[in-house]
Structure 1
Amino acid sequence: MKSINSINSINSINSTNGADNTADAQRVVVIGGTSGVGFAVAQAAAAQGSNVVVASSNQDRVDLAVKKIGDQAEGIVLDVADEAAIVAFFDRVGEFDHLVYTAGEPLLLKPLADLGAEESRAFFERRFWGALLAAKYATPKLRPGGSITLTSGAFATRPVPGALLGASITAAVEGVTRALALELAPLRVNAVRLGAIRTELWDSTVPDPEAFLQAQGSVLPVQRVGTADEAASAYLYLLDNGYATGTVLTLDGGAALS
């Protein structure tokens, strides 16, 4: 597998020689890649020389993400709650090198007594079942040396009252990561366990996003929440490191220590 970090030098050589470097670039698919951490991953991968495919359920967001990333990006609308659509998506994508899954609805923070069955199932549909089905149908399309990177969260190990669904889903994703790393070997499967990251996700999750993020950051050893770019670097590390599999990489500003 070519190192993603090495592609800059490859592309520089090809550009100098006037050669077409398209065949040398890796291809990274980011489901959830039109906003927040997913977009940061897609943008960073493209900046390092990869061709990227970004997918989400909203055509306008897909178009805007592709425009921002530039010529190395392709965008496809995808409803990850629709299994047939996931199958068709990967048939359209064809062969590629790495899958990153960051898709999910805004966090649902409610105590058990207030949770409805329908809304709970819908939350699992995209964050858990969507990720599992994406892994299933991506696997035959991944080239040798490829990888799948899923997304977990700090609630998996440090839940708070009202975060029952978030804790359940993130813990399940981490279990799937370890199981698939064995089942799909030598294909690599990893996950990133994110703490509080400053993205637009919080705009529709809490009443006062800025106050919430300030409060979250103030109790961390680093004294702030993370950025989407910092989160993206964790995903790119797992894509690039051919020795990493079954790994849940924690990026939480030291929250696990407090």
Structure 2
Amino acid sequence: MTLQDQRVVVLGGTSGIGLATAQLAAAQGATVIVASSNPESVRLALASLPGSATGTAVDLTDSAAVAAFFTGLDPFDHLVFTAGEALTLLEVGTMDLDRARAAFELRYFGALGAVSAAVPKLRPGGSVVLTTGAAADRPGPGWSVAASICGAVDSLVRALALELAPLRVNAVKPGVVRTPLWRGALEYDETARHLPVQRVGEPEDIAAAYVYLMNQPYATGSIVSVDGGHVLV
């Protein structure tokens, strides 16, 4: 199956996993619309996408801005949410609860708000693909907040799959991926040595899972792990 003649909105689609997903969807014939908070990032992303692609700078933590963004769109087939910020690793003993609450704003409430605003514009037979993370299943010290966000998204996917049926709702659960969000958080070569696949992920590896879920008409409430075997070790 392909995404020929379908319209795909990728929030966070201007760098890393989101941009790779937009590029792969476009390669399958989709018209892509990307959005992120950084206008320069939007400009650079559009330079790497087909001329049919469009992009907008939107603060995805601003519910009014998100609502206005979707109001201005024509109906579309798939919503992908890959937006994120630098990883928030917080030790419990020195926990900054304001930072912990802020970490949920984009990755959880941003995703929930985007789905709420997008639903009226999603065509029958369409889908939503959110982003969670391997930390939900195998966290380490300092990962209590990040793991909680991922666990919350896991539960959100299952609940929305029932509430929004027959619209399909799924998620991708990446492990360590070579993107700006991970830069400085981990040593890639050291991490790779501990993974069964002996390397960290690339954005293109993860993008394939988002496109698979958009194309898979019988998947809903599914969370697809693409983590190089992280949860096994």
Alignment counterpart, residue 198 of structure 1, candidates 175, 178, 187: 178
- Asked whether 1:129 is paired with 2:109, we answer yes
CA distance in 2, matches of 1:81, 1:227: 27
Letter aligned with residue 136 of structure 1: S
2:176–2:182 Cα contact (<8 Å) kept? no
Deviation for aligned residue 1:137: 0.9
For residues 101-139 of structure 1, the C-alpha deviation after alignment (integer angstroms, 9 at most, x for no partner) is: 010111011211222122112111000000001111111
**Greater fraction helix:** 1
Q: Secondary structure at the match of 2:83?
A: coil
Alignment counterpart, residue 114 of structure 1, candidates 82, 88, 94: 94
Q: 2:222: which partner in 1?
A: 247
Letter aligned with residue 111 of structure 1: E
Return the TM-score normalized by structure 1.
Answer: 0.88
Q: 1:14: which partner in 2?
A: none
Q: 1:86: which partner in 2?
A: 66
Which contiguous aligned blocks of 4+ residues in structure 1 show a shift greater than 3 angstroms?
none
1:220–1:254 Cα contact (<8 Å) kept? yes
CA distance in 2, matches of 1:83, 1:55: 14
CA distance in 2, matches of 1:83, 1:114: 31
Q: 2:9: which partner in 1?
A: 29
Alignment counterpart, residue 65 of structure 1, candidates 38, 42, 45: 45
Q: 2:162: which partner in 1?
A: 182
Q: Secondary structure at the match of 1:161?
A: coil
For residues 4-56 of structure 1, the C-alpha deviation after alignment (integer angstroms, 9 at most, x for no partner) is: 25x3xxxxxxxxxxxxxxxxx10000000001000000011111110000000
1:4–1:26 Cα contact (<8 Å) kept? no
Alignment counterpart, residue 233 of structure 1, candidates 192, 208, 226: 208
1:50–1:72 Cα contact (<8 Å) kept? no
Q: 2:57: which partner in 1?
A: 77
Unaligned runs of 5+ in 1: 8-24
CA distance in 2, matches of 1:121, 1:110: 12
1:32–1:39 Cα contact (<8 Å) kept? yes
Q: Secondary structure at the match of 1:198?
A: coil
Q: 2:80: which partner in 1?
A: 100
CA distance in 2, matches of 1:55, 1:138: 13
Deviation for aligned residue 1:68: 1.1
CA distance in 2, matches of 1:237, 1:224: 22
2:90–2:96 Cα contact (<8 Å) kept? no
2:17–2:179 Cα contact (<8 Å) kept? yes
Return the TM-score normalized by structure 2.
Answer: 0.97
Q: Computing the radius of gyration over CA atoms, which structure comes out larger, 1 or 2?
A: 1
Residue correspondences, number: 233
CA distance in 2, matches of 1:176, 1:228: 24
Letter aligned with residue 150 of structure 2: T
Percentage identity across aligned positions?
A: 52
Deviation for aligned residue 1:152: 0.6
Q: What is the root-mean-square deviation of aligned Cα atoms in Å?
A: 1.1
CA distance in 1, matches of 2:86, 2:73: 27
Deviation for aligned residue 1:165: 1.0
Unaligned runs of 5+ in 2: none
1:33–1:39 Cα contact (<8 Å) kept? yes
For residues 195-228 of structure 1, the C-alpha deviation after alignment (integer angstroms, 9 at most, x for no partner) is: 011112222x42xx5xx11111111111111110
Letter aligned with residue 28 of structure 1: V
